[in-house]
A and B are shown apart, each in its own frame.
Chain A
Amino acid sequence: MSYLRADIRQRADELVALYPERRSAMLPLLHLVQEQDGYLSEEGMAEVAELTGTTPAEVRGTATFYDMYHLEPVGKYVVGVCTNIACLLAGGEEMLEHARATLGCAVGGTSDDGLFTLEETECLADCNIAPCVQVNHRYVRTTTPAAFDALVNDLRAGKREDEIPPHGTLIRVRRSGGLRASRAQIATERDAAQSAREARAGGAK
């Protein structure tokens, strides 16, 4: 019985089939768990372990390396404010302080209503529109306190959901083409090759 919802599980199976080795799907699969649960749930990570042929400990050990994964529940909107060099020179620290006051949560914390989590980020590669703010990894380009407040009001009012989906949803464009016709065939070939490699490696997993 799959913990992941049927539609998410189907996308997960498609992802695994794209790679020569199953474990390569680890990062995109973890993004899918976050899309379903908003963070990396234990059950979700266990299913990723099953999908990638690893253990839950290996999944967790991999996930903790990467900033975008949350191992605890976070707000529906994760607000990231950059304070790295280009943003620092454009008032990034002041924007972070303004965001903290406006959202009513500490940096790294979540607002009481569970709507917002605030993060201080490293460079987000949008340095010509500084200070850079992302919400759920969408560039919102609010460089003034007034623009930031207007955005927050919109999000509180449930607007802009098309533009900024709930936290965890990363890629909404589904892959619609591929090299080989049968994904089942790819998966069969890959698993056979992987078994052969493991056998050659002395049977030790």
Chain B
Amino acid sequence: MAHLTAPKIVSSRAQFDDSHTMSRYLATGGFSALRQALTMHPEDVAAEVDAASLLGRGGAGFPAGRKWSMLRKAPVTYLVVNGDESEPATFKDHYLVEREPHQLVEGVTIAAYALQVSQAFIYLRGEFALGLERVQQALNDAYEHGALGANIFGSQFSLDIVVHPGAGAYICGEETSLIEALEGKRGFPRIKPPYFPAAIGLYGQPTVVNNVETMSNMPWIVTHSGAAFAALGEGRSTGTRLFALSGRVKNPGVFELEMVKNTFRDLIYDPSLGGGIVGDKKIKAFIPGGVSAPWFGPDDLDTPLGQDEVANKASMLGSGSIVVLDEDSCVVRAAWRITKFFSRESCGQCTPCREGSGWLERIMYRLEHGGGRREDLDLLLDLCDNIAPGLTWPPQQTTICVLGPSIPSSIHSAITMFRDDFIAHVDHNGCPHD
């Protein structure tokens, strides 16, 4: 049974068609958390976030409080919000920027106050035209309301927020690449170390980069306390999280669920959530956390929706997006399309990723469209092993960023789980589903 009693922390206004307006936001408690935060010492606000044990909601799942504490030793800082949401099948930040833009602005302002930052940037992928307009409107509303700008609500704290449009590049979700794009350059990920922009970030200055959903949790954490947030979920996975469900389910969408208390089966099959598989078919496989994640099969359905719970089964909850394949879905085509995506989006700096992704895509293409060979399976795995040696999870890295080691996941999973499907493609000289 799905566990649906937890409060809605970031999607509480979902029932309102005008949830993106200032009037609705103010009528539903908007900016009261910011007023409260401004009466507290900035370090006490940061302590609440630390107590919440909020894991970053972007994909890597790094504790937000620790990102902040690494930074707070240094004086000059920028806060950058990552709204580049481009991991295929991830669409929860899309919901937040279009439907809850004021909540995002308030969350960013609270975080900036805790960090004592006077300049923040909200980077949104350029394809979010409506989201860009709504966030700009929310910023305008906040300035006019005194919730942003000089001496916010009469306090000594001042903040400027700039919304910055991206221009179409998956890699800019990688935080050092995002910073390059924000500096007006090609979005090449930076060489590590330094591992975190907290040391050297925007313009070489200490910078915190947090995801849109991470920021959107701030108002609730201030209002209800970090302890109340940490009381939700289990273990390291505290609070609630937005899960984006898509693929062969009857009711795809974004669902806010308490961490760990629900399983993939609950999310996919509960009538109030995914509602089961289209046509009541059988589930063949599902991707648990964005296309960078290794796949799960029907035997994994009872895995709880928690960071460690998924990691313990050698995959990741990642960006919180779940894609369902049914018994009629072609896994070779699915893995080929995911590989084509990585090949298109590789920034080209590192050879294993740039060359490897293209080679893998072409081999997958011939398996799916005709011309594949039996030995291609070993060739694919050998190439994958060159990009992420050992094909372990989490992967070994041969590249500057984690795009490279994400490429093998779908191919490795598909061959391991569905080898017969590949053989059928070879024997049929193309896709038997066509």
Partner of B183, one of A21, A122, A124, A173: A21
* 24 A–B contacts from the bound complex (CB under 8 Å): A20-B119, A20-B203, A25-B184, A26-B185, A27-B166, A28-B164, A62-B184, A65-B169, A65-B187, A67-B167, A85-B341, A123-B88, A123-B341, A124-B127, A127-B88, A127-B244, A128-B252, A139-B130, A170-B132, A171-B165, A172-B133, A173-B133, A174-B136, A179-B118
Question: A127-B91, A171-B165 in contact; A176/B143 too (CB < 8 A)?
Answer: yes
B321: min CB distance to chain A, Å:
8
Q: Are B246 and A128 in contact (CB under 8 A)?
A: yes
A175 CA to B122 CA, complexed, in Å: 14
| Separation of A45 and B158 alpha carbons in the complex (Å) | 35
The CA-CA distance from A175 to B137 in the complex, in Å, is 8
Encode contact with B along A172-184: 1 for CB under 8 Å, 0 otherwise. 1111111110000
Contacts A134-B127, A139-B130: A176 and B140 contacting too (C-beta < 8 A)?
A: yes
- Report A140-185 residues with CB < 8 Å from chain B CB: 170-180
Q: How many residues of B contact A (CB 8 A)?
A: 71
- Rank and list the top 3 A-B pairs by shortest CB-CB distance, nearest first: A177-B143, A26-B184, A67-B168
| Binary interface encoding of chain B residues 121-137 relative to chain A, with 1 for a CB under 8 A from any of its CBs, else 0 | 00001111110111011
Residues of B at the A interface (CB closer than 8 Å) are 85-91, 93-94, 118-119, 125-130, 132-134, 136-137, 139-140, 142-144, 148-150, 158-160, 162, 164-170, 181-187, 203, 244-248, 252-254, 287, 291, 321, 323, 325, 329, 333-334, 337-338, 341, 344-345, 347
B125 and A125 within 8 A (CB): yes
Q: Please classify the interface of chain B as helix (H, G, I), strand (E, B), loop, or mixed, using the class held by over half of its residues.
A: mixed
Chain B's nearest CB lies how many Å from the CB of A127? 4
Given contacts A130-B246, A171-B133, A173-B136, contact A68 B93 (CB under 8 A): no
In angstroms, Cα B370 to Cα A135, docked, is: 33
- Return A176 CB to nearest CB of chain B, in Å: 5
Chain A residues at the B interface, C-beta cutoff of 8 Å: 18-21, 23-28, 30-31, 52, 54, 61-63, 65-69, 83-86, 88-90, 122-128, 130, 134, 136-139, 170-180
Smallest distance from the beta carbon of A53 to chain B beta carbons, Å? 10
Q: Which residues of B contact A83 (CB under 8 A)?
A: 337
Contact A122–B86 (Cβ < 8 Å): yes
Known: A88-B334, A122-B86, A127-B89. 16 other contacts (CB 8 A): A27-B164, A27-B166, A28-B164, A65-B347, A85-B247, A85-B337, A86-B246, A89-B247, A127-B91, A130-B246, A137-B128, A137-B129, A171-B133, A176-B143, A177-B148, A179-B119
User: Which residues of the partner chain A approach B137 to less than 8 Å between Cβ atoms?
Assistant: 173
What CA separation (Å) do A24 and B205 show in the bound complex? Answer: 14
How many Å from the CB of A59 to the closest CB on chain B?
9
Nearest-Cβ distance from residue A157 to partner chain B, whole angstroms? 22
Minimum distance in angstroms from B197 CB to a CB of chain A: 15
Chain B proximity of A77: nearest CB distance (Å): 13
Which B residue sits closest to A26, measured CB to CB?
A: B184
Determine the distance from Cα of A52 to Cα of B166 in the docked complex, in whole angstroms: 17
Determine the residue in chain B with the shortest Cβ distance to A48: B184
With a CB–CB cut-off of 8 A, which chain A residues contact B149? Answer: 177-179
Determine whether the beta carbon of A85 is less than 8 Å from that of B169: no
Q: Which residues of B contact A137 (CB under 8 A)?
A: 126-129
A173 to B101, CA, bound (A): 14
| Complex Cα spacing A126 to B127, Å | 11
B187 to chain A: closest CB distance in Å?
A: 6
Which residues on the B side are within 8 Å of A65 (C-beta)?
Answer: 169, 186-187, 347
Q: Which residue from chain A places its CB closest to the CB of B126 in the assembled complex? A: A68
Residues of B within 8 A of A178 (CB): 143, 149, 160
| Chain B residues, CB < 8 A from A123 | 86-90, 341
- Name the residue of chain B whose CB is nearest to the CB of A179: B160
* A180 CB → nearest B CB, Å: 7
Give the distance in Å from the alpha carbon of A23 to the alpha carbon of B164 in the complex: 13
A31 vs B165: C-alpha distance in the bound complex, in angstroms? 9
- The residues of A that contact B159 with a CB separation of less than 8 Å are 179
Residue of A nearest to B91 (CB): A125
- Across the interface, do A88 and B127 meet the contact criterion of CB distance under 8 Å? no
Question: For B91, B144, B170, B323, which residue has the most chain A Cβ atoms within 10 angstroms?
Answer: B91
Q: Residue on B with the closest CB to A28?
A: B165
| Chain B residues with CB under 8 A of A66 | 126, 166-169, 187
If A122-B344, A177-B140 touch, whether A61 touches B186 (CB-CB below 8 Å) is: yes
> What is the bound-complex CA distance between A139 and B334, given in angstroms?
24
Q: Can you name the residue of chain A whose Cβ is closest to the Cβ of B90?
A: A125
Per a CB cutoff under 8 Å, which of B88, B244, B254 touches A122? B88
Tell me the nearest residue of chain B to A27, going by C-beta: B167
A24, A83, A122, A123: most-surrounded residue (chain B CB, <10 A): A123
